[in-house]
């Protein structure tokens, strides 16, 4: 990518910059576009000093004309968030994008044990056309909830709490508080706190404190999409570590729409080109598209794993007959969350109508992977 150092290496800066400055300005309308860095280089003092006054005026006029025209033609839809009752509701263009269930809500049907009731998860999550790609309290796995992040096989102070299978009453993940809800620059988000409670201790004991930082954006264009930037920070609540023995699932989970139940209804595509869910299971992948047919149309979510995540690229759990996906780094062997060292997990969820091409998904990952 051209920058001001290249401009001084014997090239005419007006010729060099004019070609890409318009692209850079247009790209800067998308906060995820990597070309935005070129825009900054264009206005570097050394570059400006080398451009004759008349050409500089023309360049400035062309660039700002591009910004004006681009905004009028392809302005991105804004997302807003609002706390309503026990939820935070995100909307864009008068359509719902997703909900964060803060305090535990109502069961979707009768006959569910009280021990399964929980909050602190994302559901429902919608595509830009309004199709719902997640499920909540599915009858074949009642403890699954849209996007959620509990651990399964654990050791804490000699006990073995299970924060995933809440119906067993060995552990739970409890909502604590919404720290803030924000709306800024067309995006929206929230910060919330959860706690992992060891129910085998007497009295019950908090093993982990967790913070979720979530931001949501919407984009138009050739493939409209809702984008969820998800970050979990987990810290030990005591001087004891939370040990995570080798196990095949637990951690960041995604439960897909009920319509995707069955061996053939739920499809996958990994960053390595694997489309067989059995072969993709326990494989390591930097991104994975998961989805299927909803109301006769393809919909799904591409889940991206950040390179800063522990044991990146993380191995995946893909259920053989249910629409369930999980990034599970403990598949590679024992691990633990230790006092004084936060365990940080970052994932990007891109929700679309239709299946993105591998090239498009790879571009999303490359651009996002460079963010801090």
Residues 60 and 99 in one domain: no
Residues 117 and 246 in one domain: yes
**Residue 34: per-residue pLDDT:** 39
- 234-266 residue pLDDT tens: 999 999 999 999 999 999 999 999 999 999 999
Q: Is the pLDDT of residue 22 over 60?
A: no
Q: How many structural domains does the chain have?
A: 2
Q: Is the pLDDT of residue 152 over 80?
A: yes
* Percent of all residues in the chain with a pLDDT value above 70, rounded to a whole number: 80
Residues 213 and 340 in one domain: yes
Average pLDDT of the segment spanning 68-82: 70
Q: Among 21, 44, 74, where does a domain finish?
A: 74
**Residue 372: per-residue pLDDT:** 81
**Residue 52: per-residue pLDDT:** 57
Residues 70 and 94 in one domain: no
Average pLDDT of the segment spanning 262-281: 96
Domain at 168, CATH number:
2.70.98
Rounded to the nearest integer, the mean pLDDT of the chain is: 86
Residues 28 and 130 in one domain: no
Query: 191 - beta bridge partners?
Result: 180, 213
Residues 62 and 105 in one domain: no
- 211-222 residue pLDDT tens: 999 999 999 999
| Alpha carbon 17 to its chain's center | 34
Q: Among 74, 96, 116, where does a domain finish?
A: 74
Residue with tokens 């960041």: 252
Average pLDDT of the segment spanning 150-165: 98
In order of 44, 107, 274, the CA distances from 324 in angstroms are 49, 20, 17
How confident is residue 43, by pLDDT bands cut at 50, 70 and 90? very low
Residue 127 · residue 299 · CB < 8 Å: yes
Residues 68 and 84 in one domain: no
How confident is residue 50, by pLDDT bands cut at 50, 70 and 90? low
Residues 87 and 70 in one domain: no
Consecutive H or E run containing 38:
helix 36-42
Residues 96 and 110 in one domain: yes
Give CA–CA dist 372/369, Å, rounded. 8
Give CA–CA dist 209/120, Å, rounded. 13
Give CA–CA dist 44/5, Å, rounded. 10
> Among candidates 207, 40, 173, which has minimal Cα distance to 103?
173
Q: Is the pLDDT of residue 27 over 90?
A: no
Q: Among 30, 50, 74, where does a domain finish?
A: 74
User: Of the given ranges (31-35, 64-68, 76-80, 216-220), which has the lowest mean pLDDT?
Assistant: 31-35
How confident is residue 55, by pLDDT bands cut at 50, 70 and 90? low
**Residue 31: per-residue pLDDT:** 44
In order of 45, 50, 108, 356, the CA distances from 257 in angstroms are 53, 58, 14, 18
Domain ranges, residue 156: 79-369
Residues 60 and 127 in one domain: no
> Among candidates 1, 33, 5, 32, which has minimal Cα distance to 19?
1
In which order are the strands placed within the sheet that holds 147-148? Answer: 79-84, 87-92, 95-101, 121-125, 147-148, 252-255, 324-327, 316-318
Cα dihedral: 255, 259, 260, 262 (round 10): 120
Question: What global pTM score does this model have?
Answer: 0.81
Residue with tokens 């049907």: 109
- 86-109 residue pLDDT tens: 999 999 999 999 999 999 999 999
- 113-136 residue pLDDT tens: 999 999 999 999 999 999 999 999
Residues 65 and 88 in one domain: no
**Residue 75: per-residue pLDDT:** 75
Q: Is the pLDDT of residue 1 over 50?
A: no
- 184-228 residue pLDDT tens: 999 999 999 999 999 999 999 999 999 999 999 999 999 999 999
Tokens representing residue 286 in the block: 């930097």
**Residue 90: per-residue pLDDT:** 98
Residues 20 and 103 in one domain: no
């Amino acid at each position: 990518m051209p920058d001001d150092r290249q401009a001084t290496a014997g090239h005419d800066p007006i010729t060099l910059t004019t070609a890409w400055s318009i692209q850079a300005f247009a790209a800067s309308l998308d906060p995820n576009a990597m070309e935005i860095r070129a825009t900054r280089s264009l206005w570097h003092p050394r570059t400006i000093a080398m451009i004759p006054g008349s050409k500089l005026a023309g360049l400035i006029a062309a660039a700002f004309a591009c910004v004006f025209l681009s905004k009028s033609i392809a302005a991105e839809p804004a997302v807003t968030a609002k706390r309503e009752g026990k939820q935070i509701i995100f909307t864009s263009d008068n359509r719902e994008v997703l909900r964060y269930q803060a305090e535990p809500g109502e069961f979707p049907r009768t006959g569910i044990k009280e021990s399964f009731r929980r909050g602190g998860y994302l559901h429902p999550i919608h595509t830009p056309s309004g199709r719902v790609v997640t499920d909540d309290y599915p009858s074949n796995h009642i403890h699954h909830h849209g996007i959620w992040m509990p651990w399964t096989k654990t050791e804490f102070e000699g006990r073995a709490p299970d924060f995933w299978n809440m119906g067993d009453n060995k552990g739970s993940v409890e909502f604590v508080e919404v720290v803030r809800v924000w709306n800024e620059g067309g995006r929206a988000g929230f910060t919330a706190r959860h706690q992992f409670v060891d129910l085998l201790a007497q009295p019950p004991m908090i093993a982990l404190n967790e913070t979720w930082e979530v931001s949501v954006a919407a984009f138009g264009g050739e493939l409209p999409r809702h984008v969820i930037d998800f970050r979990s920070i987990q810290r030990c609540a005591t001087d004891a570590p939370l040990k995570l023995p080798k196990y095949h699932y637990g951690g960041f989970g995604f439960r897909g729409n009920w319509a995707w139940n069955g061996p053939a209804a739920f499809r996958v595509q990994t960053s390595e080109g694997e489309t067989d869910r059995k072969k993709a299971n326990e494989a390591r992948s930097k991104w994975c598209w998961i989805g299927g047919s909803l109301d006769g149309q393809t919909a799904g979510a591409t889940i991206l794993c950040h390179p800063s995540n522990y044991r990146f690229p993380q191995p995946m759990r893909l259920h053989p007959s249910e629409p369930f996906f999980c990034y599970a780094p403990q598949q590679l062997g024992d691990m633990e969350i230790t006092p004084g060292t936060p365990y940080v997990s970052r994932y990007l969820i891109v929700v679309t109508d239709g299946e993105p091409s591998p090239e498009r998904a790879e571009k999303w990952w490359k651009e996002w992977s460079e963010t801090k």
